[in-house]
Amino acid sequence: MSNVYQANIVKKHASLPARVMQMETPHGMVTTPAFMPVGTRAMLNYLTPADLQQSGSDIILGGNTYHMLCAPGMEIIEAAGGMHTFMGWHQAMLTDSGGFQVLSLSKNSKICTINEEGARFKHPITGKIIHLNSHTSIQAQKIIGADIIMAFDQCTPETGGREAALAALDRTHRWLMLSKEEHEKNPNSVYGHRQALFGIIQGGSFRDLREQSTEFILQQDLDGIAIGGEVIGFDMKKTEEIIDWIRPMLPENKVRYTMGVGLNPQDLLDVVAKGIDIFDCVAPTRNARHGTLYYGEIVEKDGWLAFESRGEQGRILIKKSQYAKDNQPIMPHCDCYTCLHFSRAYLHYLFKQGLIAYFHLASIHNIHVMQSVCKRMRELILR
């Protein structure tokens, strides 16, 4: 295992901001554009590490800080030798700081309250109070041992208007300074490998706040740059607009990460065309579990790619009775394990019966489609 993190541009697209980068991490090389499947609770729902490798994943988002503090707890992760060993994933891993959970859980003040010091959570089962702040978040991420860790931030809600966006921005910047200070005491995980620290640009849907936040994050000279906030990935038009506002300010040599992008295969194509390198989303596996399977064709168009929709918005709903006798694979030309071996009729039957095999096979397909989109983007840029 190497003990470095570094990122280099391999090649830029001839006419778009899209590029291919190589990130060297202590757990292997990652070539971007790269989609990170999400294993919030130290596992990817219904997928094994072997399934992920077969899909072409070489980096995942593993072990969310908030959830890991709740269960299994840091003592157990540390006793296992870190998250990589604990969950049997030995390639690159990014973890997040718990900032998004602060946003979602603080909507109920009985569960979570936020102040300048950070967030106080009530453990969902034991009722024990958990303090999550810049210090405890970075300490937990050192024990998780991910290759890339995130500064503790306050995710900007879309509902609070400018005042809420400004408050979250100021707090995120203060917490970033404290996160950086904590990280710099020892930039390694407790297992001795170097961890890269990314800062998160906030500012909601306000151009001047996004620019102000970008400037502040860049001044800290961190390893990489994330773009956060509730709007990112949720509203793709706004997401693209925000990237356009701040891209002229971003250094070429640092990895750019849009948090929570990947509801649809087309979303990956859209942000990479704007100059983004990595992204994560729970949607592909969540969609799979609820019977929504990606279906379309990756085609070249005007020097870039599009995920051309077949069916309803690039997906099929496998529960529909029209698939009961349909002996085609989910998606023609897809070479995932599921499409090579099983028919829509079989998946329809499994889904209707609520059988666990369905969740496994459906998740394999949806993650594979996301990784196929990334592979095609890399090939096109390198060509």
Residue 107 contacts by C-beta under 8 Å, 6 or more apart in sequence? Answer: none
Q: Let me know the angle formed at the C-alpha of 265 by 264 and 269, rounded to the nearest 5 degrees.
A: 120
DSSP string spanning 31-77? ESSEEEEEETTSSBTTB-HHHHHHHT--EEEE--HHHHHHTT-HHHH
Residue 48 contacts by C-beta under 8 Å, 6 or more apart in sequence? Answer: 88
- In angstroms, rounded to a whole number, what is the distance separating the alpha carbons of residues 198 and 250? 13
Q: Let me know the angle formed at the C-alpha of 16 by 295 and 335, rounded to the nearest 5 degrees.
A: 25
Q: Which residues are catalytic?
A: 96, 280
Considering only CA atoms, which of 27, 47, 12, 6 is closest in space to residue 285? 47
Residue 159 contacts by C-beta under 8 Å, 6 or more apart in sequence? Answer: none
Neighbours of 88 (CB within 10 A): 11
Q: Let me know the angle formed at the C-alpha of 138 by 45 and 27, rounded to the nearest 5 degrees.
A: 55
Q: At how many degrees (to 10) do helices 236-246 and 265-273 cross? A: 20
Q: Which amino acid is at 188?
A: N
E strand or H helix that includes residue 137 = helix 134-144
